[in-house]
Amino acid sequence: MTKDLSTWLDTLLSELQGIEVRRKSSRRIRVDVQPDALPALLELLRGRASYVHLSAISCVDWIEENEFELVYHVWSYEIGSLVSAHTRIARNPGVYISVYDIYTPAAFFERDIHEMFGVFFEGSPDMSKFILTEWDGPPPMRKDFDSEAWVNAHFDFQDYQPDWLTEIEAKGGGVAVRPDEQRFSRRDVDAS
């Protein structure tokens, strides 16, 4: 029965115009779709194909292509398979339409993406801060947010040069790569 349903789904999706369907495995389908057709696809999957569970919405920042990729993962309990619908929107201004009217849990995922990536979802019930309530910097999951520079500007690191270490180093032992030569060097801050 499950096999019949998934074959039926393949036929259904193959008949739709303008989408690219790739079956990754027996239980996973990847669908690439244009942003204007995505709500219609989700509507179809939910209403006609029993994909009632929206597991997550994830966001990928493709900074070189100047695009955000939104991935809607929907699960069907009857067919037992996961469809991930991929769509790409322009990074500027980064506005997309909410699917809250199709899937209610989308409100939380959209609120989260709004705070982490700065994508605004039109029609979402609440776009206020969710986890980063005390954060006033730029959206931190964007690729152009330099976490290390922010850390160097806002925090200090412990100096790790105790006396007993210099004694060991005088004898030829000790740390191979000194902390100030390591990854969290403050070179960038001092230079500017």
When the beta carbons of 63 and 149 are compared against other proteins, the nearer one is 149
Asked if residue 157 binds other proteins (CB under 8 A), the reply is yes
Q: Which of 1, 4, 92, 154 binds other proteins (CB under 8 A)?
A: 154
Asked if residue 147 binds other proteins (CB under 8 A), the reply is yes
Asked if residue 164 binds other proteins (CB under 8 A), the reply is no
Who's near 79: CB < 8 A, 6+ residues apart?
Answer: 2, 5, 6, 9, 49, 50, 51
Q: Which of 134, 144, 163, 190 binds other proteins (CB under 8 A)?
A: 134
Cα–Cα distances (Å) from 191 to 147, 154, 183, 186, 188, in that order, read 17, 16, 16, 9, 5
- The answer to whether the beta carbons of residues 41 and 19 sit under 8 Å apart is yes
The CB-of-59 to other proteins minimum distance in angstroms stands at: 18
The CB-of-148 to other proteins minimum distance in angstroms stands at: 5
Q: Which of 63, 90, 95, 151 binds other proteins (CB under 8 A)?
A: 151
Residue the block writes with tokens 């690439």: 32
Asked if residue 62 binds other proteins (CB under 8 A), the reply is no
User: Which 8-state DSSP code applies to residue 176?
Assistant: S
The CB-of-93 to other proteins minimum distance in angstroms stands at: 24
Asked if residue 11 binds other proteins (CB under 8 A), the reply is no
When the beta carbons of 55 and 185 are compared against other proteins, the nearer one is 185
Cα–Cα distances (Å) from 27 to 5, 38, 75, 182, in that order, read 11, 21, 10, 45
When the beta carbons of 122 and 159 are compared against other proteins, the nearer one is 159
Q: Which of 137, 163, 170, 190 binds other proteins (CB under 8 A)?
A: 137
Q: Which of 18, 78, 150, 187 binds other proteins (CB under 8 A)?
A: 150
Q: What is the chain's percent helix, strand, coil content, to nearest 5? A: 30, 25, 45
Contacts to other proteins by CB under 8 A: 132-135, 137, 140, 145, 147-148, 150-151, 154-158, 160, 183-184
